[in-house]
Amino acid sequence: MSGPDRYQWRRDKDGLGVWEHRGKVAVAGVGHSPVDRRWDGVSMDKTLGAYSILACQKAMDDAGVTPDQIDGVICCDSHIAGGSGGSASQWAPRPYFPPPYDSEWGLTLVNAKWLIEQMHLPNVKFAPTGVPTISEMVGMAAQAVGDGVCSTCLVIYPTGNLEGRYRRGGENADDYARGARQWTAPWGNHGGNDFINIFPHGQYCRKYGGKHDDLAPFVVNQHRNGLLTPWGYNATHNVPQLTVEDYVNSRYILNPLRLWDCDRPVNASAAYLFTTAERARDMRQKPVYVLNHSQHNFRKRSTQEDLDEIEDWTDRAARRMYEGAGLGPAEVDIFNPYDGYAPMAQFFLEGFQWHGVKRGDAFAFYAGDIRVEGPHPFCSSGGNLGNGRTRTAMYTDCIEQLRGTAGARQVKVRAETALGAFTTPSSGGWIMFGKHPS
Amino acid sequence: MPKLIPVPDALSKPFWDAVNQRRLVLQHCAACNRLQYPPQQACQVCNSAASLTWKEVEGRGHIAASIVIEDGRLNRRMPDQPYNLAMVTLDADQRVNFYSNLPGTPPYKVPVGAAVEVMFEEVAPGQLIHEWRVVA
């Protein structure tokens, strides 16, 4: 049942050329659980495991696939808060429940083995362990289907959140800084994507002009797009539309990083069904083809990434993706980079030169019309900022825009190609989708 | 300031031993003639382990960027909030950078671009860390 853990699936080098499976793999199903702020510790139909099963069922229903047809399951089995999750991401030492919730599996962690057992999937032959996050899982699935390792593959990304302060436990509660943290934590860097980007963001503002609060139009628009996303946290919890005034008056976290530059941790799960383009054509939905996937893992030179490195890395990631997809910036219709901390999206926007935006132009671009009904529908998903820290809105929006099923978020411009990611500038991956296989 | 206490390991022990003697000693790759910090098993550029030696450097740098931590996640640092967290580049090799709380510089008053010099601060009995202060 387990797949090859050492399967070489990544496209993480420069100059790999056009992806050999371009247009031969497709996404045929999408499923989202409800998005809750936290699991309440009581409702067994709302656990991370229950929500992952629900997301899988929805993705399978969306595609019209039955359990016996699933032969691949790729599930991320780590806490999104990492080693600092503390009580918000680990159930123990609280007492467990009757099976299948008699351990962390299903409560705060989900993996392929647990899902296969609970969902009674009889024909799974590819279920790798130790899989990375959604940024790379979608690439792994696309490559596995293209290579014939499996043909009908579920990709599941659970994001758990329990009661308690997020990232206020584990190593962040320690008096000692061990391992790589000996170089960062003594001075106050608790680790995370916020720190990766806030210093280069400051350098960006000084180099190109502008100020931190020039992010306001972007953040406000992310919340607007989130409210147009029926399954997202904001839309399902009556979160009022954020205003520029709200934004510029919000408290600081890592000054100048504001509260509204941060995404809201949630308890949710999402699933996608990858299959061959050929099979997808017989399934329930219009196929959305995979035109390329790429990954990157750039090493910083020293303690803190600087603007030069971030710009170099995003330039290189863009070149890899465009080369493998056989497309250029002008041919990308939908662009959903990661926004899990607002002062990061500008690096991707400019690196990928979407809608002609060059280095230093992002703030002016944000001040223009980036609404979904406008000419530059940037981040039409609403991302994490508009939907909660699901890290999946970017992928779902790409798929829905190409299907033409994005509802109130459906863009008015051409929607035939879509580029999405959950990635930091230093590590992660991108995936390019197409309405057509070539 | 109750800073977290670094725990030296086999790779970092020479660095922290030097810090505890109030010296700033970084890895140097003889093949590339580059400094490297934090220490690694091999040179990040040429991947040579044999070319790496420890070299004492002059503790002078400049502030490249700075933030103020108002709502951090480190329990031990909560009483210090708000406090500066600056990125300091080393004059001897600007590709090398360090974090600093800039002792003596009030929060929100960081002169980005200013010159700094290394200093050492005790975070636990017998354990110093390297810090940086603005040069008057």
Residue B72 contacts A, CB cutoff 8 Å? yes
B116 and B132 together in one domain? yes
Considering its fold, how many domains does chain B have in total? 2
Residues forming a β-bridge with A347: none
Where do the domains of chain A lie? 25-166+265-280
The whole-number pLDDT of residue A169 equals: 84
- Does one domain contain both B38 and B87? no
| A300: closest CA of chain B, how far (Å) | 9
Give A58-114 pLDDT, tens digit per residue: 999 999 999 999 999 999 988 877 777 777 888 999 999 999 999 999 999 999 999
DSSP-assigned letters across all residues of A281-321? TTSSSPPEEEEEEEEEEPPPSSSS--HHHHHHHHHHHHHHH
Closest CA to A418 of A405, A428, A427: A405
Are B82 and A187 a contacting pair at CB < 8 A? no
**Best interface-test mutation with B: which of A168, A182, A187, A254 has the largest number of B CBs within 10 A?**
A187
Write out the residue range of the structural domain in which residue B29 sits: 7-57
Q: Test A183 with B108 for CB contact under 8 angstroms.
A: no
CB-CB neighbors (< 8 A) of A301 in chain B? 44, 95-96
| pLDDT (0 to 100) of residue A5 | 57
Cβ of B3 within 8 Å of Cβ of A187? The answer is yes
A25-166+265-280: CATH number: 3.40.47.10
Residues of A (214-273) whose Cβ lies below 8 Å from B: 251-257
Same domain, B28 and B79: no
Contacts of A185 (CB under 8 A, 6+ apart): A171, A177, A191, B4, B74
Contacts of B65 in chain A (CB under 8 A): 199-200, 202-203, 306
- Cα A164 to chain centroid, rounded: 23
Whether B21 is covered by a domain: the verdict is yes
Q: Is A211 on the interface with B (CB under 8 A)?
A: no
Q: Do B73 and A203 touch (CB under 8 A)?
A: no
Q: What residues of B are in contact with residue A186 (Cβ under 8 Å)?
A: 3-6, 99, 123, 129
Cα A352 to Cα A133, A234, A330, B59, distances in angstroms: 22, 28, 10, 39
Domain for residue B2, yes or no?
no
For chain B, what is the largest distance between any 2 Cα atoms, rounded to a whole number of angstroms?
Answer: 45
CB contact under 8 A, A176 and B70: no
Q: Tell me: the pLDDT tens digits for A332-355?
A: 999 999 999 999 999 999 999 999
Alpha-carbon gap, residue A165 to A33, rounded angstroms: 23
Interface membership of B8 toward A (CB under 8 Å) = yes
Q: Are A189 and A336 in contact (CB under 8 A)?
A: no
Long-range contacts of residues B111-117, Cβ cutoff 8 Å, at least 24 apart = B111/B63, B112/A202, B112/A206, B112/B63, B112/B64, B112/B65, B112/B66, B113/B62, B113/B63, B114/B62, B114/B63, B115/B60, B115/B61, B115/B62, B116/B60, B116/B61, B116/B62, B116/B63, B116/B88, B117/B59, B117/B60, B117/B61
**Which member of B73, B99, B112 has the closest CB to residue A184?**
B99
Instruction: Flag if A172 and B87 touch (Cβ within 8 Å).
Output: no
pLDDT score, position B1: 61
Which CATH number covers residue B107? 2.40.50
Residue B1 lies in a domain: no
Task: Give the pLDDT of chain B (136 residues) as one tens digit per residue.
Answer: 689 999 999 999 999 999 999 999 999 999 999 999 999 999 999 999 999 999 999 999 999 999 999 999 999 999 999 999 999 999 999 999 999 999 999 999 999 999 999 999 999 999 999 999 999 8
Minimal C-alpha gap between B108 and chain A (Å) = 9
Say if residue B46 is in the same domain as residue B64: no
Q: B36 and B67 share a domain?
A: no
The parts of chain A modelled with pLDDT lower than 70 are: 1-5
Contacting residues of A for B9, CB less than 8 Å apart? 178-179, 182
Are B49 and B67 part of one and the same domain? no
CB-based contact (8 Å) between A174 and chain B? yes
Same domain, B39 and B65: no
Same domain membership, residue B67 and residue B38: no
> Are B63 and B50 found together in one domain?
no
The pLDDT tens digits for A109-137 are 999 999 999 999 999 999 999 888 999 99
